[in-house]
Amino acid sequence: MRAMKNIVILISGRGSNMQAIVHAARAGGWPARIAAVISNRPDAAGLAFAQAQGIPTAVVANREFPNRECFDAALQREIDRFAPDLVVLAGFMRILTEPFVAHYAGRMLNIHPSLLPSFPGLATHRQALAAGVRVHGATVHFVTADLDHGPIVAQAAVAVEAGDTESSLAERVLAQEHIIYPEAVRCFVEDRLAIDNGLVRVAPPVQA
């Protein structure tokens, strides 16, 4: 029997991907617990959802620190209070320092609203529309020191339709995020992910 894994989720806003993961974990009986939801913004709407679910929450407000290094050090201390096996970035709008990323190497996931390596950074849907691509999407990846890069765990493709706006495209991409992110996290907690020469190998689920 697998040991239960602790998951700490970081958010900056409403945390819709966090909510999808919480619901999927409970519905699927994962060998994991959501140990905490932590935000860099005290007004993040997702904190109320987590509290209503009985999940411990914390705030480490980046505005209270003079630089990224000090903030990341304080955030790391708070995360580590919950002994995480996995740290999940779910709309956490901070660029992380190399020491912080190194501390969680191989156990921190992020989701990005594009088919990486295309369109890293912000305004991905605007970038996709401006480039005239026919296919857009979302990517779950392990976090490395390079912004929006790292071994890819899962991707979902979304067709770009005639007349799409940033908001209409974002809505369809987000719906796919809510599918692939929980599944990627589940694969991690079931010990089905392995990084081999920068590529992620996903093992099939064990049959009961």
What is the arithmetic mean of pLDDT over 165-194? 98
Predicted confidence (pLDDT) per residue in 69-97, tens digit: 999 999 999 999 999 999 999 999 999 99
What span, in angstroms and rounded, lies between the C-alpha atoms of 172 and 160? Answer: 10
- Name beta bridge partners: 137: 157
Q: What percentage of the chain has pLDDT greater than the value 90?
A: 95
| pLDDT value of residue 147 | 87
Q: Does residue 2 have a pLDDT over 90?
A: no
**Interval 16-31 mean pLDDT:** 96
In single-letter form, the type of residue at position 101 comes to V
| Position 208 pLDDT exceeds 70 | no
Average pLDDT over residues 21-34: 96
In the predicted model, is pLDDT for residue 192 greater than 90?
yes
pLDDT of 44: 97
Which residues have CB under 8 Å from 18's CB, separation 6+?
Answer: 9, 11, 37, 46, 49, 50, 88, 90, 91
Largest Cα–Cα distance in the chain?
A: 52
Helices and strands: H and E segment counts in the chain? 6, 9
The tens digit of pLDDT for each residue in 135-147 reads: 999 999 999 999 8
pLDDT-derived band at 206, boundaries 50, 70, 90? confident
3-class state of residue 148 by DSSP:
coil
100: nearest Cα among 77, 83, 76: 76
23 is known as an active-site residue: no
- pLDDT band, residue 3 (cuts 50/70/90): confident
Strand partners, 6: 33
The residue from 103, 112, 141, 178 that is catalytic is 112
What is the reported pLDDT for 5?
A: 97
* Cis amide leading into 117 (omega within 30): yes
* Average pLDDT, integer, range 103-107: 97
**What's the pLDDT at 72?**
98
